[in-house]
Amino acid sequence: MALTVLTVDDSRTMRDMLKHSLVAAGFRVLQAEDGLDGLEVLKTEKPDVVVTDINMPRLDGFGFIEAVRSDAERRTMPVLVLTTEADPDKKSRAKAAGATGWIVKPFDPVKLVDAIRRVAA
């Protein structure tokens, strides 16, 4: 059965690039436009892995990760951060919030797919 990945990013272009790369790798892809939208998707879906941006309107990636981790059912769900940010403080903050890993944009589709498969195992 195909792994399901939820992508959370406010950029339509980035969501399209992620969907193209992940569908080509055989994943089922769910999409959300920001953290609040991502939490709505999680009410009805149980993805194997979440890939989220940090800088988004309404609810940023930090708040989204914290909300996911506060839900007992989703506490162990892998959450990868995919962002243009390279700031060590933000990386530490994401890890403290519960992020499983950190990938800097622009992403290499092969490395992203490998990372998703690793954390989903």
Domain boundaries, the chain: 4-110
Query: Where residue 110 falls among pLDDT bands split at 50, 70, 90?
Result: very high
Calpha distance 37→32 (Å, rounded) = 5
From the list 86, 19, 75, the residue with the least C-alpha distance to 51 is 19
Q: Answer for the pair 65, 58: CB distance below 8 angstroms, yes or no.
A: no
Query: Where residue 109 falls among pLDDT bands split at 50, 70, 90?
Result: very high
Which residue bears the tokens 């769910």? 30
From the list 111, 90, 108, the residue with the least C-alpha distance to 99 is 90
Helical H runs in the chain? Answer: 12-24, 35-44, 61-69, 88-97, 109-120
**What is the model's pTM?**
0.96
Mean pLDDT score of the chain? 95
Query: Where residue 6 falls among pLDDT bands split at 50, 70, 90?
Result: very high
CATH 3.40.50.2300 fits 4-110, yes or no: yes
Query: Mean pLDDT across the stretch 78-106?
Result: 93
Q: What is the pLDDT of residues 40-85, one digit of tens each?
A: 999 999 999 999 999 999 999 999 999 999 999 899 999 999 999 8
What pLDDT score was predicted for residue 16?
97
What pLDDT score was predicted for residue 121?
78
